[in-house]
Amino acid sequence: ILNVEQSPQSLHVQEGDSTNFTCSFPSSNFYALHWYRWETAKSPEALFVMTLNGDEKKKGRISATLNTKEGYSYLYIKGSQPEDSATYLCALNNNDMRFGAGTRLTVKP
Amino acid sequence: GAGVSQTPSNKVTEKGKYVELRCDPISGHTALYWYRQSLGQGPEFLIYFQGTGAADDSGLPNDRFFAVRPEGSVSTLKIQRTERGDSAVYLCASSMNRYNEQFFGPGTRLTVL
């Protein structure tokens, strides 16, 4: 069983700050790592799908990296905005999908 | 185009009753997943369908839970003899195949009194 750990559990930043959070996993035995953004009362929205060690993906102010050898992925948000406030979920796609508990980000104006 | 839809959006039932939760995936998506999300937790995997067959049902908590996808499109999650601990948001997601990003529905909030 792949246990997916996310840290921190919650994060409060000021508008304009850049921030990052971590998804860690004990084994590289998975097909892909997914990042999702989940706003309250909405469906989780896919951000990135990453498969290879060293993968780097970017979408606007948000980017992610994957290091399968050391067992982590980072999600970065540059110049946080209040609309970035959400829970960011990491999941490993193997035969099933294992989600972490998420990092709840609050961006204060 | 239409996204993943789930019905009902909310379901309140009494302990011991039977419930069915429905998921309409995006047309053409062969992979369909069911998850359960409890307060403060990430989504917990329940079952994955590839086409009509359950490719992995290892996440179903016990034999009161069952899911079908008879025509490879719509799926129904069935819960027998509901218990208060079954109260959660049940999410459905679909994808082109198991390796692609998943598109989630809005969820069904189940409350067992």
Average pLDDT, chain A: 92
Q: Which of residues 43-82 of B touch A (CB under 8 A)?
A: 43-45, 48, 55-56, 58-59
Flag whether residue A79 sits within 8 Å of chain B, measured between CB atoms: no
Angstrom distance (rounded) from CA A43 to CA B92? 10
Task: Give A93's pLDDT tier (boundaries 50, 70, 90).
Answer: confident
Interface contact flag, A97 B102, Cβ < 8 Å: yes
Distance from CA of residue B74 to its chain's centroid?
Answer: 11
In this complex, do B58 and A102 lie within 8 Å of one another by their Cβ atoms? no
Kindly tell me if the per-residue pLDDT of A2 is higher than 80: no
Cα–Cα dist A20/A48, whole Å: 15
Angle in degrees, CA B60, A5, A67, rounded to 5? 115
B1 has a pLDDT exceeding 60: no
What pLDDT digit, counting tens, does each position of A33-79 carry?
Answer: 999 999 987 888 999 999 988 999 999 999 999 999 999 999 999 99
User: With an 8 Å Cβ cutoff, are B48 and A44 in contact?
Assistant: no
Contact A43 B59 (CB under 8 A): no
Q: Within its chain, how far is the Cα of B94 from the centroid? A: 10
Higher pLDDT, A1 or A84: A84
Res. B49: pLDDT tops 90: yes
- Inform me whether the pLDDT recorded for B107 exceeds 90: yes
> What tokens does A78 get?
């540059």
Percent of chain A past pLDDT 90, that is, above it, reads 76
Q: What is the DSSP string of A6-61?
A: EE-SEEEEETT--EEEEEE-S---SSEEEEEEE-TTS--EEEEEE-STT-EEEETT
Q: Which of helix, strand or coil describes residue B97?
A: coil
- Decide which of B97 and B65 is more confident: B65
- Across the interface, whether the CB atoms of A96 and B41 are under 8 A apart is answered no
What value does the mean pLDDT take over residues B24-41?
Answer: 92
DSSP category for residue A83: G
**Cis, bond preceding A109 (omega within 30 deg of 0):** no
Task: Measure in Å the smallest separation between the Cα of A99 and chain B Cα atoms.
Answer: 6
Out of A46, A49, A101, name the one closest to residue B42 (CB): A101
CB distance B68 to B85 below 8 Å:
no
- Residue A26's pLDDT band (cuts 50, 70, 90): confident
Once rounded to an integer, what is the mean pLDDT over residues B60-64?
95
Mean pLDDT score, B78-87: 96
**Can you tell me the distance from the alpha carbon of B36 to that of A89, in angstroms, rounded to the nearest whole number?**
14
d(CA B38, CA B26): 25
